[in-house]
Structure formats: structure tokens, C-alpha cells
Amino acid sequence: MTGGERLSLSVTPETCAGTGVCTFYAAGTFELDDDGRVSIVDEHGDPDDDIRNAVEACPTRSLRLGPSGGGRP
């Protein structure tokens, strides 16, 4: 992160396979619903490093950290 710019977190539940890798690395940020699909409970629910680990490790690339303001329509 440069210049204090905040990154925004987005998820794609359609491709999520319910592995729970993200909730292992960042349990305060991500949550799975009854169908095992990911959602965000708190965008800053864990230290940044933990959230980055979750995003990087998601085996289906269903998590994204990008510059804020460019969220899905």
C-alpha cells in the first residue's frame, strides 16, 4: 500500500468452493454462508497481512484486493 491509499476488498461467491482457506487466515474478515459461499463480514476484521494471506491463498481466486472506488457496479 502506498501513500496511505486504502485497498478495497471484493469477493466472487459464484466461484467460491467453500474450502475455508480464507477463514483460516482471516477469520474476522471472511465468513461462509450455509451453502459454503464466501462473504465479507468486516473489511478490516484482521491485520492487513492476514487478509493479504487469505487473498493470495484462495485456491479459486475468488478474493480480490484492489484500489478502492473500482468496486463492482
Partner 1 sequence: MLDEIAQLDPAMIRTLFDTSGQFRRSRSGGDYVENFHTDLRLARESGPVHVGSVEEVLGAVDPEHPLPYPEPVYSAFSFDTVNTVFRDPETYTSDAMRGTFDTFGRNILAMGGAEHARYRAVAQPVFARNMTQWWIDRWIAGITDSLLTRFERRGRADLNLEFCALLPLLTITGSFGVPMDEALRLREHIEQMISAGTERADRLAASAAAADILLPVIARRRGDPRDDLISKLISESVVDEHGTRHALTDDDVLAYARLLLTAGSGTTWRQLGITLWALLNNPDQLDAVRRDRSLVRAAVEESLRWEVTDPTFFRLTAHDTTLGGVDIPAGSRVALCLTAANHDPSRWPDPDRFDIFRRVKPHLSFASGPHVCLGMHVARAEMSVALNAILDRLPDLRWDPDAPRPVLMGLHMRAPSDLPVVFG
- Per CB under 6 A, residues contacting ligand SF4 are 16-22, 30, 32, 38, 58-60, 62-63
Residue 56 partner contact from ligand SF4, partner 1, none using kind-dependent CB cut-offs of 5 to 8 Å:
partner 1
SS3 category, 52: helix
Instruction: State the sign of the Cα–Cα–Cα–Cα dihedral 43, 51, 4, 12.
Output: negative
- Exactly one of 10, 28, 32, 43 binds partner 1 (CB under 8 A); that residue is 32
* Interaction site with partner 1 (CB under 8 A): 17-21, 23-25, 32, 36, 49, 53, 56-57, 59-61
